[in-house]
Structure 1
Amino acid sequence: MLRKELWSAVEEVLPALQEENYAVFVVGDDGTTESSRNLSNKIQAASDEALPLSLRAHVTFNTPCVYIYTSGTTGLPKAAIIPHGRVHRIASFISGCGLSSDDVIYTTLPLYHSAGSLIGVGGCIFLGATVVLRQKFSVSHFWDDCRRYNVTVIQYIGEVLRYLCSAPKRSSDRDHKVRKAIGNGARPDVWKEFLNRFGNIQVCEFYGATEGNVGFMNYVGKIGASGRVSFFSKKLMPFHLVEYDVDQEAPVRDANGHCIEVAKGETGLLIAKITSKSPFVGYAGSKSLTAKKHLRDVFSKGDLYFNSGDLMLLDKDNFIYFQDRIGDTFRWKGENVSTNEVADILLMLDFVQEVCVYGVTVPGHEGRTGMAAILLQSGRDFDGAQLYEHVTTHLPSYAQPRFVRERTTIETTGTFKYYKVTLVKEGFDPATVQDALYFLDNQKRSYIRMEEGIYNSITTGQARL
């Protein structure tokens, strides 16, 4: 089923769908084509009598309800199987944030992901609240929409808050009825700026993967935390943070072959035990897709855990913090480098609007060295000397990006996650990369333009990194 304006996205795969006997319905006026059926007409013609319960007698909480695709930022998207029971649990999550049927929830998030569809729309159905949808996020219309529709709750992804804080200030910034913001990925500095600028809004940060079996909620508003762990939450969703080897891309195992739990205050890989109360259903298609997320014999022979792929930290007060994703952490000079931490430092520069940090391989060197794709602020020029001074002041040597790529756009998914696969593959060769490239030169104390001669000296080992 699709809207008429999205028909072109299906046309090329339509023959394959027809071979599999899939029915294609189009929503919208005059949506009928030779290869599809108009759903709007069928809805208008349908009886308003209740459907017999026998039609759904076979449906249980374990029956698949929807498929939701993961973003695919480090690989191809996969269709996560979401059973009816999980849809109910996710939709009811919103009540734990203190919402009621009187609330008006505004979401600009894509409905093909669980945040917008299951938490936003599903949560409103669960509460009997009102949902306001905008087809696409707009900084300039955001607060005007909130005022127009008397919005009391907004949904966000971390980058949404950053975009709002980056917009020019208005005298009406605090003229709204928004009392809560629900979402994930808010950086501490943006979180603080958002509250200072837009007023007393309770930010309800949470952590959870669409297909995962563990989640956290920051119900006390601790800035920067993804949630708080309690005795009861760990009983319902048993999890651990374990040591992770970035080079081997696997958890560290002891002499007995078991994973090693990290101490409080240390970063570890989040894994969650798969049980009947916290199941991991997996993905549609090949069983190998689901098996890749399994960890076996973790603490004892035969046990089974879900590998979240996320690095987290639990502090002494049991607040848990998202640190990075496995694919977004690389090792250089024997040290682990967090792309999120490096990006946060680069975004402090006044001429940088967006930045995507990743690791690239260099011939003759172990691990990967840092590279940053940056989008400049409108009307600003790249300042290699200022950038050099900034990174050498705020970052240790191993975390300083050796290469910088100036972009006109940085491609993201529908939830504002950066596509890094292509950037990593293209590397830092000025003969193949069309964008302006720069290299960190310690002698000149600046990022200088990458030329073929510099590239050759790096790849042949003459230049020191």
Structure 2
Amino acid sequence: MMMYFISIILASILMIPLVLKTFSPYVWKDILYFKDLLWILVRFVSRRRRRPLFLVLDRFLEQTAAHPDKPFIVFGDESFTYAFTDKRSNKIAHAMQCQPGYKAGDTVALFMGNEPAFIFTWLALAKLGSPVALLNHNIRTKSLLHCFNCCKAKVMIAAAELKEAVEDVLPSLMERDVTVLLLTEHCDTPGIESFSDKVDKASDGLLPHSLRSHLTFKSPAVYIYTSGTTGLPKAAVVNQNRLLTALAVLSSNGVSASDVIYVNLPLYHTAGFIIGFIGAIETGSTIILKRKFSASQFWDDCRKHSVTVVQYIGEVMRYLCNTPKRDNDRDHKVRLAIGNGVRAEIWRDFLNRFGNIEVREFYASTEGNVGFVNYAGKIGAIGRVNCFHKKLFPYTLIKYDTELDEPIRDANGLCVEAPKGETGLLVSKITDIAPFVGYAQNEEQTEKKRLRNVLKKGDLYFNSGDLMRIDHDNFIYFQDRVGDTFRWKGENVATTEVSDILTISDNLKEANVYGVQVHGHEGRIGMAAVTVKEGVQFDGSAIYTHVISYLPSYARPRFIRIQNSVELTGTFKQMKVKLVDEGFDPGRIQDPLYILNDYDKSYVPLTAQVFSSITSGNLKL
């Protein structure tokens, strides 16, 4: 009888995995995720307790000491070891100390694209205890000056190829006594100093720790620019504590020192800088750095350098899937793709074509205080929600009125939680563990991201501006952005910024800017419903010249719709929902429609034939 009961017990124990897999198919992945999350917390807390302060730079120095001769950055045919990177950054730091107008700890703006000098310079400034503003190298004139000024930088370090862009704003920089350094051997422009020659002559000796002894965990580490709901780009403050937290991003996704990471996304953005560069510092991996994304070169690069981990945004996967098929599409060593913004159908196409690659889709924002990881691999989801995560980072989805562009509140003035399965606005409670630092020199926009009296009187939440849906299996899905921001070519575009620039032209009186969907494309492309000033004819060439001068390519409205008046809501907000729904189809719209044409350098009439070419994919946008 005893043997019978023992057999029953053993059989029951053996049945547990099968039962769990049948009724809770993700339980083992949940357990592994909890283990990873716990390990991240333990490691983070232990680092926080170290004295003197342990910062991202210290992790880089640890990796350099552990394997000095290992390649850290590969750029084209050049390879730079951890030791070389360390010494080169020392030379830059020593050269910086000799620059008049700069002292250790001053904020410095980097204005350059993806190149090893970007990484060398950031590490140098970290050794000097200087916060670094990462300027988008596509911005010009008004936007460039705004981004530089709002972080109160004392110095600008620019790539040689951006000399003309710097010269455009040089008078304003000189008025502010800004030190402008160009990464070149010689510069004959008054007010701009060559810097590469000075770096080459500088010492590569160690920098004393005392240069950064003033830092605390609340000190700004980097400023990363993000276009929010209104206005010009905002400088999201990433402090030393947040950067230390970010160290764990890659290692928590199973990346190790043996991995080779392909970084082709901009280093001035969160994805390239934090996940690519900072993540590789944590794991001690090798970075294959690309100046910019190229769909035609992507897999050849991966094969050449034995890449094992790649980064993506939704557009990257779509571009790769749209390239001509090759017999060697699956001939590579890539095992992991980390990123966000990929549609479910593109995700499936990517796996079917390029092989069994683990896709780690995640959700996060530069300034936000909550994130999700799709560790279970459910196609289409941005993450999986669970009680443990919600305890650490309290969040909820609340009902949102897209017409009024505001949360729905009950009779007590509190927000209404969206039921499971329904779309709601993601908001996350602001706590000591999940703080919201905000934007540099922009309290107004910082306050707009704070949402009060959400679930009870007096509480305070971060408004993500993103609509989400949680299904009955606890997977969370991104639905759309709210307000006045859309995303195109992997970049956030603030509609108010574009509207402001359109209306300072001599041609247009009002402009209502919004994003419209294009078949086969990720995100939304820019469109503007405008009114023309009295007594003036619409001048497509003049408007083209204007937007080219002020806006980067991804933010330029591709379509313009001429209206007699801009429609407003009852609260005098510009109406966008109907305009977004109508899109740019000349068959549905009676108003005159124009399309940006780079060949003619003008906005030209949008005909039914051109519309057909766009929707069929024959005309690329």
- TM-score, normalisation: structure 1: 0.75
Deviations 1:369-409 (A, max 9, x none): 223358xxxxxxx9x7xxxxxxxxxxxxxxx9999968567
Q: Deviations over 1:324-344 (max 9, x none)?
A: 0003799xxxxxxxx99x948
Post-superposition CA distance 1:265-290 (Å, at most 9, x none): 11000011111111111111231111
String of CA shifts for 1:14-39, please: whole Å, max 9, x gaps: 22222323222222333574323333
1:79 counterpart residue number = 235
Matching residue of 1:434? 604
Seen in structure 2, the aligned counterparts of structure 1 residues 16 and 357 have a Cα distance that, compared at 3 Å, is closer
Structure 1: any 5+ residue segments left out of the alignment?
Answer: 331-338, 375-381, 385-399, 411-431, 440-445, 448-465
Greater displacement, 45-54 / 196-205: 45-54
Mapping of residues 90-239 of structure 1, within 5 Å: 90-239=246-395
In the alignment, the residues of structure 2 paired with residue 56 and residue 235 of structure 1 have an alpha-carbon distance, to the nearest angstrom, of 35
Following the alignment from structure 2 to structure 1, what is the Cα–Cα distance between the partners of residues 289 and 390? 35
2:582 corresponds to which of 346, 371, 389: 371
8 Å CA contact 1:270–1:310 kept in 2: the answer is: yes
Task: Please give the alpha-carbon distance, in whole angstroms, between the structure 2 residues aligned to 1:181 and 1:401.
Answer: 41
Q: Which amino acid aligns with 2:199?
A: I
1:56 counterpart letter in structure 2: R
Give the corresponding residue for 2:431. Answer: 275
For residue 162 of structure 1, give the secondary structure of its aligned residue in structure 2. helix
Q: What one-letter code is carried by the residue in structure 2 that aligns with 1:372?
A: G
Task: Determine which of 286, 309, 319 is the counterpart of 2:442.
Answer: 286
Is residue 264–residue 293 contact of structure 2 (8 Å, CA) maintained in 1?
yes
Distance 1:3 1:324, change over 3 A: same
* Equivalent residue number for residue 391 of structure 1: none
Q: Is 2:418 the counterpart of 1:248?
A: no
Change (3 A) 1:401 1:283: farther
CA contact (8 A) 2:426 2:466 kept: yes
| SS of structure 1 residue aligned to 2:404 | coil
Comparing 260-269 with 66-75, greater Cα deviation is found at 66-75
1:299 to 447, 450, 455: 455
Alpha-carbon spacing, 1:84–1:363, altered in 2? closer, same or farther (3 Å): closer
Instruction: Choose 1 or 2 for highest CA Rg.
Output: 2
Q: Check 1:44–1:262 CA distance in 2 against 1; reply closer, same or farther (3 A cut).
A: same
Which amino acid in structure 1 is aligned with residue 434 of structure 2? S
Return the structure number with greater helix share: 2
Determine the C-alpha separation between the residues in 1 that align with 2:275 and 2:450: 26
Structure 2 CA distance for aligned equivalents of residues 11 and 359 of structure 1: 31
User: Is the contact made by 2:450 and 2:460 (CA closer than 8 Å) also made in structure 1?
Assistant: yes
> Residue 75 of structure 1: CA displacement?
4.4
Query: Quick one: distance in 2 between partners of 1:263 and 1:354?
Result: 26
Q: Does 1:16 align with 2:205?
A: no
Q: Distance in 1 between matches of 2:406 and 2:523?
A: 31
CA 1:104–1:363 in 2, change beyond 3 Å: closer, same or farther? closer
| SS of residue in 2 equivalent to 1:89 | helix
CA contact (8 A) 2:597 2:604 kept: no
Instruction: Judge conservation of contact 1:373–1:404 (CA < 8 Å) in 2.
Output: no
Structure 2 equivalent of residue 450 of structure 1: none
Unaligned runs of at least 5 residues, structure 2: 1-156, 487-513, 530-562, 570-574, 613-621
Q: Secondary structure at the match of 2:583?
A: strand
Equivalent AA in structure 2 for residue 109 of structure 1: L
Change (3 A) 1:261 1:329: farther
| Cα distance in 1 between the residues matched to 2:306 and 2:591 | 47
Q: CA RMSD in A?
A: 3.2
CA distance in 2, matches of 1:109, 1:42: 30
Single out whichever of 25-34 and 256-265 deviates more from structure 2: 25-34
* Alpha-carbon shift at residue 357 of structure 1 (Å): 8.0
Name the amino acid aligned to 1:246: T
In the TM superposition, residue 437 of structure 1 has moved relative to its aligned partner by 4.8
CA contact (8 A) 2:227 2:485 kept: no
Aligned equivalents of 1:215, 1:365: Cα separation in 2: 35
2:482 is matched with: 326
Output the TM-score relative to the length of structure 2: 0.57
Q: Secondary structure at the match of 1:144?
A: helix
Q: Is the alpha carbon distance of 1:68 and 1:182 closer, same or farther for their aligned partners in structure 2, counting shifts above 3 Å?
A: same
Q: Deviations over 1:418-457 (max 9, x none)?
A: xxxxxxxxxxxxxx96331559xxxxxx99xxxxxxxxxx
State the AA in 1 paired with 2:357: I
Alpha-carbon shift at residue 83 of structure 1 (Å): 0.6
In 2, distance between residues paired with 1:228 and 1:101?
A: 27
The letter of the residue matching 1:45 is K
Count of residues in correspondence between the two structures: 383
1:309-331 deviation digits (Å, cap 9, x = unpaired): 0000111221111100003799x
Provide closer, same or farther for how the CA distance between residues 251 and 354 of structure 1 changes in structure 2, counting only shifts above 3 A. closer
